Amino acid sequence: DVKVTQSSRYLVKRTGEKVFLECVQDMDHENMFWYRQDPGLGLRLIYFSYDVKMKEKGDIPEGYSVSREKKERFSLILESASTNQTSMYLCASSFRGPDYGYTFGSGTRLTVV
């Protein structure tokens, strides 16, 4: 069964900590994405990557960075966690092309205290 795996289901971190969220896909997808999901705001794109070592800013990149050293792995980094980054984080991947949908992971619920 093909899938996108996010390393943690729940995380609690302290303000100011550096936080790493890991995502791995086994579908040989070129594109990978990080979204955050908040009630009433839907899914907002943080960063995406269309190839190894390539990255593009999404709609809300402030306070985040990403790393894609291997095709199957895409990491989201919170350089200095803040309470307003408490959210559900979703990783997704897709083939490159107009008619391919996204495959999402189950999400990481991050709480920053």
Partner 1 sequence: QQQVKQSPQSLIVQKGGISIINCAYENTAFDYFPWYQQFPGKGPALLIAIRPDVSEKKEGRFTISFNKSAKQFSLHIMDSQPGDSATYFCAASGTFGYQKVTFGTGTKLQVIP
Write out the residues near partner 1 by the rule CB under 8 A.
4, 31, 33, 35, 40-45, 48, 50, 56, 58, 90, 92, 94, 96-107
Spacing of C-alpha 103 from chain mean position: 12
Q: How far is CA 91 from CA 16, 32, 53, 80, 106, in A?
A: 23, 7, 17, 20, 8
Q: How far is the CB of 85 from partner 1 (least distance, A)?
A: 19
Nearer CB in complex with partner 1: 42/83: 42
Kindly state the smallest distance separating residue 84's Cβ from partner 1, in Å: 19
